[in-house]
């Protein structure tokens, strides 16, 4: 090779090395903010994936199909990031999504007994998709199964999903317009805001159905996690998991999580409510102070040190220990999700409220604005 050509080759190698270095720096120091990319189509509509990243490298990936959170990466006590929610890598994995991984559930999260309720003298009939009950809003056009409009927030690290559920959809009255916003802060908080308006009185109960495993998704069961639930009472259920109407004190029962206790320490006790729920699948009545955000639960995983703290404006939380996961779903990285591989903390109104006049009302009327907030805060100890 003549010297001139040699210099050219050296120059090209040098420039390539420099750009490689710059690229590596860029990708390791990912800027915080929202990224949007095409993620496929559903019902002929585009589905987008939104990635929210904060300055600590915490990352939330969510899509406008079902408002589903696909992944949530948070550090352990050594700073090691892991994805702590069960789910799939691609849109196709969520079709169908029987365990409601990561989804927004509604119009009415949880159960409505016998798929019916009466409001202002009129009886409404809903599709039954859980034995005799309606679970998580019905069968076909429920919040977890529709394409929402997605819009990155302006000047904030977040994304808003909006969906108009038409009058009569899944049997519910009123055109119900709902917006769910996910915002990621630099304090490692994922803030979930729910807002809705309607043109006819209608029940509403919206929640987020992420399954957490603070060791990392697919990494065994959640029985060694320690949980504190800020509730002195829970709502016992019948054999169809419908509240009986009783508000039972947790004291002296396996439902007492007022001090931090291992999830698995009493889960298989021969206590009627645990037998009926096949574990915990119950609504805890939160000890609330005022109307703002109030502590619902705190979960600690001892091996990684990860802590999840849940605060909410809602009156209750459904603590579900993934009892119905049975290994039939293979999720991210080929992980098989077995029984109790994840837990959910679904902040909400009480189940079946439309049929329980004594429960806090879950009816939204025209002219009113529904607004609830739940914050998932991640830390370590
Ligand atoms: C909720 C219910 C559970 C179960 C899951 C989905 O948490 O309370 O009983 O239906 O959703 O599998």
How much is the pLDDT for 289?
84
Interval 34-67: pLDDT, tens: 999 999 999 999 999 999 999 999 999 999 999 9
Task: Look at residue 3 in the predicted model and tell me its pLDDT.
Answer: 54
The radius of gyration computed from the CA coordinates of the chain, to the nearest angstrom, equals 23
Residue 24 pLDDT: 42
Is 344 close to ligand 1, i.e. is its CB under 6 Å away?
Answer: yes
Q: Give the position, in ligand 1's atom list, of the atom nearest the Cα of 320.
A: 7
Q: How confident is the model at residue 6 (pLDDT cuts 50, 70, 90)?
A: low
Residue 236 pLDDT grade (very low, low, confident, very high; cuts 50, 70, 90): very high
Q: How far is Cα 203 from Cα 32, in angstroms, rounded to an integer?
A: 38
Mean pLDDT of 286-310: 97
Taking each continuous run of H as one helix and of E as one strand, the counts in the chain are 2, 29
Q: Are 153 and 35 in contact (CB under 8 A)?
A: no
Looking from the CA of residue 111, the nearest atom of ligand 1 is 8
Write down the mean pLDDT value for the chain: 94
> Measured in angstroms, how far is the CA atom of residue 320 from the centroid of ligand 1?
7
Cα–Cα distance for residue pair 295/144, rounded to 1 Å: 26
- Cβ atoms of 158 and 184 closer than 8 Å: yes
pLDDT level of residue 106 (50, 70, 90 thresholds): very high
CA of 337 to the centre of ligand 1 (A): 15
Using a 6 Å cutoff on CB, does residue 242 contact ligand 1? no
Give the pLDDT score at 33. 86
pLDDT for 26 beyond 80: no
Q: Locate 170 and state its tokens.
A: 């899944």
Q: Give the residue numbers annotated as catalytic, written as ranges.
A: 209, 346
* Between 289 and 292, residue with greater pLDDT: 292
Kindly give, in sequence order, each residue whose CB lies less than 8 Å from that of residue 39, ignoring residues fewer than 6 positions away: 47, 48, 49, 63, 65, 91
Residues 318-360 pLDDT 10s: 999 999 999 999 999 999 999 999 999 999 999 999 999 999 9
Distance 30 CA to ligand 1 centre (A): 36
CB of 124 closer than 6 A to ligand 1?
A: no
End-to-end CA distance of the chain: 61
Q: Is the pTM of this model over 0.95?
A: no
314: confidence class by pLDDT, cuts 50, 70, 90: very high
Flag whether pLDDT at 5 surpasses 70.
no
Q: Residue 238 class from Cβ within 10 Å (0-12 exposed, 13-18 middle, 19+ buried)? A: exposed
Q: What is the mean pLDDT of residues 59-77?
A: 98
Beta-carbon-side half-sphere exposure of residue 18 (alpha carbons within 13 Å): 6
């Amino acid at each position: 090779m003549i010297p001139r050509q040699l210099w050219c080759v050296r120059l090209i190698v040098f420039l390539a090395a420099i750009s490689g270095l710059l690229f590596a720096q860029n990708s390791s120091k990912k800027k915080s903010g929202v990224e949007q990319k095409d993620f496929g189509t559903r019902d002929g509509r585009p589905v987008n994936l939104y990635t929210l990243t904060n300055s600590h490298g915490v990352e939330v990936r969510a899509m406008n199909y079902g408002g589903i959170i696909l992944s949530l990466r948070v550090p352990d006590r050594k700073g090691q990031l892991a994805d702590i929610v069960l789910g799939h890598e691609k849109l196709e994995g969520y079709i169908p999504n029987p365990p409601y991984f990561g989804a927004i559930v509604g119009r009415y999260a949880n159960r409505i007994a016998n798929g019916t309720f009466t409001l202002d003298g009129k009886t409404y009939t809903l599709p039954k998709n859980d034995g005799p009950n309606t679970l998580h809003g019905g069968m076909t056009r429920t919040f977890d199964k529709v394409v929402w409009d997605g819009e990155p927030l302006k000047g904030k690290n977040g994304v808003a999903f909006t969906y108009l559920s038409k009058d009569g959809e899944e049997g519910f009255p009123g055109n119900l317009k709902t917006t769910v916003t996910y915002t990621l802060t630099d304090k490692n908080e994922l803030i979930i805001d729910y807002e809705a308006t309607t043109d006819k009185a209608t029940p509403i109960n919206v929640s987020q159905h992420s399954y957490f495993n603070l060791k990392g998704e697919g990494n065994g069961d959640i029985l060694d996690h320690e949980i504190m639930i800020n509730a002195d009472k829970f709502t016992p259920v019948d054999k169809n998991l419908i509240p009986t109407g009783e508000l039972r004190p947790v004291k002296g029962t396996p439902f007492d999580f007022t001090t931090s206790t291992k999830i698995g320490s009493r889960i298989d006790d021969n206590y009627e409510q645990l037998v009926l729920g096949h574990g915990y699948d119950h609504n805890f009545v939160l000890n609330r102070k005022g109307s703002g955000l109030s502590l619902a639960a705190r979960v600690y995983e001892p091996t990684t040190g990860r802590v999840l703290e849940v605060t909410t404006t809602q009156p209750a939380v459904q603590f579900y220990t993934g009892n119905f996961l049975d290994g039939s779903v293979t999720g991210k990285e080929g992980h098989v999700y077995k029984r109790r591989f994840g837990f959910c903390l679904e902040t909400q109104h009480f189940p079946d409220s439309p049929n329980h006049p004594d429960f806090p009302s879950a009816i939204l009327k025209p002219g009113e604005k529904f607004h609830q907030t739940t914050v998932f805060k991640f830390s370590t100890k």
